[in-house]
């Protein structure tokens, strides 16, 4: 794999319950709403589960994801193709933490920061709707 080794660990506070955060990360229908511009493959299950493999795209770059862990408070994905590494998510009442490590030509730090800001905005919109 060509690229640079990059590692990012970010934690943000959000005004959302643990359940709302979990659904936003483990349910592909909700995940796709805030993950833009990344696109998920068609035919995703209702919820991510251990052993699931799927592809997403950031522009023309495909990223293969293998769900290694999916629990009520943690999601760990092994990544290949556009990013060789892993992505971990942890969450609880009012907070989300993301850790991404991998080799890629993509600017992972910028992408991860924007993703967390979009997640925060999405969770805020869920609160307004709820």
What are the DSSP calls for 78-104, one per residue? EEEES-EEEEEEEEETTEEEEEEEEEE
* Neighbouring-strand partners of residue 1: none
Given a contact cutoff of 8 angstroms between Cβ atoms, the answer to whether 44 and 53 are in contact is no
What count of Cα atoms within 13 Å lies in the side-chain half-sphere of residue 93? Answer: 0
Domains in the chain: boundaries: 4-129
Given a contact cutoff of 8 angstroms between Cβ atoms, the answer to whether 118 and 20 are in contact is no
Residue 27 has pLDDT above 90, yes or no: yes
Residue 53 has pLDDT above 90, yes or no: yes
Instruction: Note if the pTM is more than 0.75.
Output: yes
Q: Tell me what pLDDT residue 130 has.
A: 54
DSSP SS3 for 5: strand
> Sign of the CA dihedral 103, 63, 50, 126?
positive
* Neighbouring-strand partners of residue 57: 39, 62
pLDDT digits (tens, 9 = 90+) for 96-114: 999 999 999 989 999 899 9
Q: At 2, is the pLDDT very low, low, confident or very high (cuts 50, 70, 90)? A: confident
Q: Tell me what pLDDT residue 37 has.
A: 81
What does CATH list as the number for 4-129? 3.30.530.20
């Amino acid at each position: 794999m060509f690229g640079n080794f990059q590692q990012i660990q970010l934690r943000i506070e959000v005004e959302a319950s643990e359940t709302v955060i979990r659904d936003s990360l483990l349910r592909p229908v909700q995940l796709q709403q805030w993950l833009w511009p990344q696109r998920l493959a068609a035919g995703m299950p209702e919820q991510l589960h251990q052993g699931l493999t799927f592809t997403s795209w950031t522009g023309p770059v495909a990223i293969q994801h293998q769900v290694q862990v999916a629990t009520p408070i943690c999601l760990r994905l092994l990544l290949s193709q556009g990013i060789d590494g892993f992505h971990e998510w942890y969450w609880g009442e009012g907070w989300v933490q993301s850790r991404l490590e991998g080799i890629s030509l993509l600017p992972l730090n910028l992408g991860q920061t924007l993703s967390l800001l979009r997640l925060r905005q999405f969770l805020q919109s869920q609160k307004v709707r709820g």
